[in-house]
Amino acid sequence: MIELSKEICTDIGGSFSREWLETNGIGGYASSTVSGANTRRYHGLLVAATRPPLGRMVLLSKFEETLMIGDKAYELSSNQYPNAIHPEGFRHVVGFRLDPFPIWRYEVDGVELERSVFMVHGENSTVVSWKVLSNTNSETVELEVQPLLAIRDHHHLRHEHFGIGELLETTECNVAWHVGDDLAILNIAHNASQVKGSGTWYNDLEYAIEAERGFDHHEDLFQPFTLKFDLSKDATVIATTEDRTYDEADQLRESEIKRRAELVASSGIDDASLWPLVLAADQFIVDRGSGKTVIAGYHWFSDWGRDTMIALPGLTLTTNRFDVAKSILAEFAKHISKGMLPNRFPDEGDTPDYNTVDATLWYFEAIRAYVEATDDIEFVRETLYDKLIDIIDWHVRGTRYGIRVDTDGLLRAGEQGTQLTWMDAKVGDTVFTPRIGKPVEIQALWYNALRVMSEFALAFEDNENAERFDEMSEIARDSFNGQFWNAERDCLFDVVVDDSKDESVRPNQVFAVSLKHSMLDAERSRAVVDVVERELLTPVGLRSLTPSDISYRPHYYGSPYERDSAYHQGTVWAWLIGPFVDAYRKTHSQDDKAEAAISKLLGDLKAHLSETMLGSLSEIFDAAELHRPRGCAAQAWSVAELLRVSTG
């Protein structure tokens, strides 16, 4: 359980900067701040996945809530408008906790009220409940709830007009709202004593984080009706695209509490400080067709091949969810094209993008880790092995974007105007880190993939391919050590292309040490780790570029162009803590103090679980102190890698 004090909840900075997230396992979510004010265009009580796991739409943005004690009205809601916060309902919050979902406790004029929010797993349904815990006031207690509708794609904003949908029907305990010709019906199931129509627009709500990100940050929301509850009994609303009734709320709540408890129990993780990460890991695992995939980050990412394969061990193997891991690997096998895994599945349409060189190579490592954890090598033999050989063959003869094995046995990739590695920031035609040629981590991943394939070939008595992969890996190793060692800085070059060598000190070189199969000897491995530790390590991950570089950017803020130009030019990435710890453990195996140092480092990052997206980890941080969190508030590989190395 993560718990916040009254001091944090009633503080503007504390309550507006801390977010909560509920997900439903099919790509939908609910999210906002502890204050109740939405600060992102992506915030909403029901963001439905209309084409699971994508097609996400903000249907119900939020509720305006007013507590009536006798003839006195107390606003419980909070909103930010230009130059004003109104109302200031967060002032009445005396406590907030994730237990296991968001629960607020209010104290107003002798009345203690509890509010909870959770999503139903497997469907676009959000359940919101209010109940009086104690009442020392002799007056009657009622609650007015006004839904604010957005009815829009979660990337966009709503502005006042009459095309937001229409009331379909009202029954005793349900209001159905027609949200579009090709979309679902939004049902508001409730146990209110009274429903009163209104049809009011709330204009010019302001989203502070969107302003910070350089985007349009004002929105108009439609308030179609008011629900009035007698709080002598619990009040319940289920916002859903399904056919639900309010009296199902208790059963749905108990089912969800049980499901989450079972996830923690089945993980086998005894350290209670990691249990929030186990639940956070579950939030990224969603359905895709008949299989599973991984949402790369909330709120705006879809499922990306690279992120999925990097995150898979931490999200699934560390938590003993081997069936999910197997499903993800099998699902992505269906989408292999010309020896490549998809980079991402876009929100618009169903055609994946194949513009990555490393996602496919991380696939080999994810499969290796799966077999190591499960001994299920028969799955590889029956389902994946032939596809993996085909991937290698495509890389040898060449595939998209100039990806091919060069005469030196190393993997070359990239064309003008493309960005194929994880350092993929691009605005218009400007690629900020093109890294065309032979990036260092791509060679590390390629070698690792060849060694993994050699092991599989031996296990399957495919001696011809075992010998082939052995020979290819030996050539790659010799070429790598001959071309990539920077003797002046005692580390690895970042990119080698023909006679040019990029001396930028970046974290990419750490993968040449951290991966299961390394091309470096012990001395060079230790030297790489020492340089990375000295120049890139922070309490929240690794910088993407050393501060001594002329291109270094200490902060990540401003317009999309300004942010993307800083994305990999110093900005700290939390997920890189995983490979760094792996490399550190390898090179400090004889150091009695190594695990204590790692524990301190991981403890610093775990502290972030109660600072931004409660119970989860941010995507990135400013390179300079104070390392302010930026980017996605909840990122799959950040959570996965912290969880993985914390249990390793």
User: How far is residue 34's CA from residue 43's CA, in Å, rounded to a whole number?
Assistant: 12
User: How far is residue 113's CA from residue 627's CA, in Å, rounded to a whole number?
Assistant: 36
User: How far is residue 275's CA from residue 202's CA, in Å, rounded to a whole number?
Assistant: 39
Instruction: Give me the residues paired with residue 68 across strands.
Output: 73, 142
Q: Which H or E run includes 104? A: strand 102-108
Q: How far is CA 643 from the centre of its chain?
A: 14
What is the reported pLDDT for 178? Answer: 87
303's tokens:
């499922």
Contact 546, 538 (CB under 8 A): no
φ, ψ dihedrals at 50, nearest 5°: -80, -20
What is the reported pLDDT for 162? Answer: 65
Signed CA dihedral, 243, 248, 249, 255: sign only: negative
What is the reported pLDDT for 420? Answer: 96
What is the reported pLDDT for 187? Answer: 96
Instruction: Quickly list DSSP for 216-256.
Output: --EEEEEEEEEEEEETTS-EEEEEESS---GGGHHHHHHHH
610's tokens:
């109660």
Contact 358, 344 (CB under 8 A): no
Contact 411, 357 (CB under 8 A): yes
Contact 164, 149 (CB under 8 A): yes
SS3 258: helix
Contact 454, 473 (CB under 8 A): yes
φ, ψ dihedrals at 44, nearest 5°: 175, 155
> Which residue positions in the chain have pLDDT lower than 70?
162, 181-183, 347-350
Instruction: Quickly list DSSP for 299-354.
Output: TT--BBHHHHHHHHIIIIITTT-HHHHHHHHHHHHTT-BTTB--SB--SSSSPPB-
What pTM does this model have? 0.96
Instruction: Quickly list DSSP for 509-526.
Output: GGHHHHSSS-SS-HHHHH
Give the CA-trace dihedral at 13, 16, 18, 22, to 10 degrees: 170
Instruction: Give me the residues paired with residue 66 across strands.
Output: 75, 144
User: How far is residue 10's CA from residue 90's CA, in Å, rounded to a whole number?
Assistant: 6
41's tokens:
């265009």
Which 8-state DSSP code applies to residue 201?
Answer: E
What is the reported pLDDT for 238? Answer: 98
